Amino acid sequence: MKICIYPGSFDPITYGHIDIIDRASKIADKLIVAVLNNHDKKSLFTVDERVEMIKESIKEYGNVEVESFDGLLVDYAKSKNAKIVIRGLRAVTDFEYELQMAQTNRELENDIDTVFLLTNLKYSYLSSSIVKQVASFDGDVSKFVTPQVADRLKKKYNKYFV
């Protein structure tokens, strides 16, 4: 069984991520979307909220699971018996960072390979950071995230305004 891991911060999940999940789910027998419990990075959403939002977005996929992980990605991948890490590439500007991560992961664990999927052109400009910026100014994020995520963003930022 080909188990693939799609790791990320997903703070929050966007249509760009969902597009990668959709295509990766057709390559993998089982796809695990793995949310990093990033202690050093200031996330808008807690790791549990991020996992919940992804679960709400992927209900139609029978072979996709969502989990959170701590520590090194390669250790987590090994614990799941996964040999393939999936990452999305939006533009050439993503490449340097992705190359560094993929090569580091391969030095750490030679058995684990990274497979890059090109993000759909219509989402190539999209990032969680941009979505948060638009939402923080009460802008319309309906083209970028699911209605459930848009709702949670609204609640999160409204809380900061009161």
Question: How far apart are CB 161 and ligand PNS at their closest, in Å?
Answer: 27
Q: Is 12 in the site for ligand PNS (CB under 6 A)?
A: no
Q: Is 27 in the site for ligand PNS (CB under 6 A)?
A: no
**Taking the C-alpha atoms of 12, 15, 18 and 22 in order, what is their torsion angle to the nearest 10 degrees?**
180
Q: Which stretch binds ligand PNS (CB under 6 A): 3-11, 48-56, 113-121, 153-161?
A: 3-11
In angstroms, give the least distance from the CB of 66 to ligand PNS: 14
Residue number with CB closer to ligand PNS (103 or 158): 103
Alpha-carbon gap, residue 161 to 37, rounded angstroms: 26
Instruction: Say how far apart CA 74 and CA 96 lie, in whole Å.
Output: 19
Helix (H) or strand (E) holding 64: strand 64-69
The residues carrying an active-site annotation are: 17, 41, 90, 128
18 contributes a contact to ligand PNS by CB under 6 A: no
**What's the DSSP call for residue 72?**
-
Determine how β-strand 84-89 pairs with β-strand 64-69: unpaired
Residues that bind ligand PNS (CB under 6 A): 7-9, 36, 72-73, 101, 104-105
